[in-house]
């Protein structure tokens, strides 16, 4: 039986729920790396006045970035074959939610990629952290944050990959995430 030592773990949820912080903490804990969210880089460079077509560009950029980090992880595994978690900040589910929440439609490419891509675990970040303003964030109101969280939770419930709800303060979130990751390693 050939077990793949690369474990791809996606961290997702509404904005300002500690996804990037959790990715960095987990990568540090496991002496590994994490794939950042491409949208942040794209929007900082191109501005926040984005279109539906820009979201397709962002989705393709996210996939290219994920592929780059996957290849780097596979090189590490080739030298030292043991379980290796790769933490991914955002996937095509996030792009689907973004497209549908803002434009009420989604690119076929994104939907096809959701079907094709396989992950080992999802960590869904809850909205129980205080919202932190930054130049890229759009939905500070509790109603939108709750709606978005519930959309993500519904997606998690209705797909087949194991997932864990991540809530509490930063320490509690990290501990819950480590326990979940340890179970798949």
With CA atoms as reference, report the closest residue to 120 among 27, 168, 182: 182
| Assigned domain for 37 exists | yes
pTM exceeds 0.85 for this model: yes
Total domains in the fold of the chain = 1
**Is 81 within 8 Å of 183 (Cβ atoms)?**
no
| Assigned domain for 11 exists | yes
What residues contact residue 184 under an 8 Å CB cut-off, 6+ apart?
A: 7, 9, 120, 121, 162
| Assigned domain for 127 exists | yes
CA–CA gap between residue 136 and residue 171 (Å, rounded): 25
| Assigned domain for 68 exists | yes
**Is 166 within 8 Å of 53 (Cβ atoms)?**
no
Task: Write out the residue range of the structural domain in which residue 152 sits.
Answer: 6-184
Q: How many CA atoms lie within 13 A of 83 on its CB side?
A: 13
| Assigned domain for 31 exists | yes
* CATH code for the domain of 64: 3.40.50.300
| Assigned domain for 1 exists | no
DSSP codes, 73-108: HHHHHHHS-S-EEEEEE--HHHHHHHHHHHHS---H
CA–CA gap between residue 113 and residue 109 (Å, rounded): 6
Reading the chain (185 residues) residue by residue, the pLDDT tens digits are: 457 899 999 999 998 899 999 999 999 999 999 999 999 999 999 988 999 999 999 999 999 999 999 999 999 999 998 999 999 999 999 999 999 999 999 999 999 999 999 999 999 999 999 887 776 666 777 898 999 999 999 999 999 999 999 999 999 999 999 999 999 99
Joined tokens for residue 71: 């290849």
């Amino acid at each position: 039986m050939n077990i793949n030592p690369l474990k791809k773990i996606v961290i997702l949820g509404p904005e300002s729920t500690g996804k990037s912080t959790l990715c960095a903490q987990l990568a540090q804990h496991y002496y590994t790396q994490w794939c950042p969210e491409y949208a942040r880089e794209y929007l900082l460079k191109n501005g926040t006045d984005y279109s539906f077509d820009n979201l397709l560009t962002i989705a393709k950029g996210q996939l290219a970035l994920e592929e780059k980090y996957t290849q780097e992880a596979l090189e590490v595994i080739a030298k030292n074959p043991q379980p290796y978690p790769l933490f991914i900040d955002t996937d095509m589910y996030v792009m689907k939610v973004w497209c549908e929440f803002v434009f009420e439609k989604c690119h076929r490419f994104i939907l096809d990629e959701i079907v094709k891509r396989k992950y080992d675990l999802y960590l869904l970040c809850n909205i129980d952290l205080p919202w932190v303003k930054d130049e890229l964030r759009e939905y500070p109101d509790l109603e939108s944050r709750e709606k978005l969280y519930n959309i993500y939770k519904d997606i998690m419930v209705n797909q087949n990959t194991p997932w864990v709800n991540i809530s509490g303060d930063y320490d509690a979130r990290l501990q819950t995430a480590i326990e979940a990751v340890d179970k798949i390693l």
